Copies of this chain bind each other. A is one copy, B any other.
């Protein structure tokens, strides 16, 4: 949880918890050993519902506020207390489960299963979900899951909390509860500032840059939860243009005077960012893209093509690893020759070139590298698979599992440092052809078949 939110929530909660209860739980940031016991008692009271449900919520407010006052060490201890003392009663689960192996009628079995469900819900989950009644409580839970994910790297015992929170958040952040909103230059500055903060693909450099991305032929859409009104969950940037863009540097160039086209033919999705770490694994991106496609078609009937201009993260790494292998046959002899001719220092091999991107500044080398690297990127996306048969590249996997087509590899498409570093400045277009999206999805998920254009075939 970042500090700004921390203090916002904290100050909001202090009000609530004072209002409801009287005595405050005061903990040191590290959560000293002798503070564990009073904390346990308070949690226990809260879970037993002493004083009724409304009072229980007040106690929950206090317990939430106390958590926010802790540093990572304290939070780890707090969470550990939850799973140690307020986890599922394993014996009870076992005892209940025993009945499953006796001879039961339908109705009886149904009751046993219901009881088993209840027994399998750990008390600490009940506590955590009560936090949602507080101001910004649902944001708190999202951030708490983000804590759990971070801390569980070192403390794997926390993983079971993560699983349960994931299930809970999937239910609460079901697409049915979310609202798609267009964000433009009339949006609150406090919201726009978050787009700058959360943008994960192409860093927003300034408010001028942001204003340009929200210009007349640009669009930004985000999903929001009704109880987290100023917090985007995931957002996508779109440019409405005349042909499928091959260059994100041009799209983002604020000095470029854009010619406004009243009837654009093509919507380019050039960036999509998840804004909430704590919602990892909650399916939102596929809905976002398809809802935005619907929205854009309604607003702008001239649109015919919907495509992405996407990065290919991991390609450089994959390629250099492959190049380092003794039997690397990445380049044909002809290609090697063509490239070598451009090199001043003839002790360098083609493989050496791959280790940095300085040669991108040399037009001749660049031209010689273009074809082979495009071919290799297409190869990487089409054939490099995970054990379950899906594409190794995460961005490719996301769009392919949405039913998109691997359309084109673009040369010199992202010349930012980041773009050069991850894929030698290349980017990829994935095409969303609504007519074949379902079929593509099925083929990809069931059989690992990747829909692709003739161009990328070569």
Give A contacts to B, CB under 8 Å: 19, 50-55, 57, 88, 90, 93-94, 97, 100-101, 106-107, 109-110, 113-114, 116-117, 120, 129-134, 137-138, 156-157, 159-160, 163, 167-168, 171-172, 174-177, 185-193, 207, 211, 226-227, 230, 283, 286-287, 290, 294, 401-403, 437-439, 441-442, 445
Choice from B113, B131, B190 contacting A120 with Cβ under 8 Å: B113
For the complex with contacts A97-B116, A176-B227, A185-B189, 10 further pairs of A-B residues with Cβ separation under 8 Å are: A19-B294, A52-B401, A52-B445, A55-B441, A93-B100, A93-B113, A116-B120, A130-B176, A133-B176, A134-B176
- Taking a contact as CB atoms under 8 Å apart, the answer to whether B132 and A174 are in contact is yes
Kindly list chain B residues whose C-beta atoms are within 8 Å of the C-beta of A168: 171
- Taking a contact as CB atoms under 8 Å apart, the answer to whether A57 and B175 are in contact is yes
Kindly list chain B residues whose C-beta atoms are within 8 Å of the C-beta of A163: 114
- Taking a contact as CB atoms under 8 Å apart, the answer to whether B227 and A171 are in contact is no
- Taking a contact as CB atoms under 8 Å apart, the answer to whether B113 and A88 are in contact is yes
Closest to A175 in B: B133
9 nearest CB pairs, A to B: A51-B438, A132-B176, A226-B226, A133-B176, A52-B441, A186-B188, A97-B97, A110-B160, A207-B207
- 19 A-B contacts, Cβ less than 8 Å apart? A51-B441, A52-B286, A53-B283, A53-B286, A54-B286, A54-B287, A93-B100, A106-B157, A114-B160, A117-B117, A133-B175, A172-B172, A177-B227, A185-B188, A185-B190, A186-B230, A188-B188, A193-B211, A226-B227
Complex CA–CA separation, A131 to B176 (angstroms) = 8
| Given A176-B132, A227-B176, residue A442 in contact with residue B51 (CB < 8 A) | yes
Complex CA–CA separation, A193 to B211 (angstroms) = 10
Complex CA–CA separation, A441 to B54 (angstroms) = 11
Choice from B51, B100, B133, B226 contacting A174 with Cβ under 8 Å: B133
Closest to A168 in B: B171
Complex CA–CA separation, A52 to B193 (angstroms) = 33
- Taking a contact as CB atoms under 8 Å apart, the answer to whether B187 and A188 are in contact is yes
Complex CA–CA separation, A326 to B57 (angstroms) = 50
Complex CA–CA separation, A156 to B106 (angstroms) = 11
Chain B nearest CB: distance from A416 CB in Å? Answer: 22
Complex CA–CA separation, A117 to B439 (angstroms) = 32
Choice from B172, B226, B294 contacting A171 with Cβ under 8 Å: B172
Kindly list chain B residues whose C-beta atoms are within 8 Å of the C-beta of A287: 53-54
Kindly list chain B residues whose C-beta atoms are within 8 Å of the C-beta of A167: 117
- Central interface residue in A97, A156, A189, A207, by most chain B CB within 10 Å: A189
Chain B nearest CB: distance from A45 CB in Å? Answer: 11
Complex CA–CA separation, A189 to B210 (angstroms) = 11
Complex CA–CA separation, A242 to B363 (angstroms) = 63
Kindly list chain B residues whose C-beta atoms are within 8 Å of the C-beta of A133: 174-176
- Taking a contact as CB atoms under 8 Å apart, the answer to whether B52 and A438 are in contact is yes
Closest to A177 in B: B227
Closest to A210 in B: B189
Chain B nearest CB: distance from A93 CB in Å? Answer: 7
Chain B nearest CB: distance from A16 CB in Å? Answer: 11
- Taking a contact as CB atoms under 8 Å apart, the answer to whether B129 and A174 are in contact is yes
Complex CA–CA separation, A170 to B226 (angstroms) = 18
Kindly list chain B residues whose C-beta atoms are within 8 Å of the C-beta of A137: 176
Complex CA–CA separation, A403 to B52 (angstroms) = 8
Complex CA–CA separation, A231 to B148 (angstroms) = 37
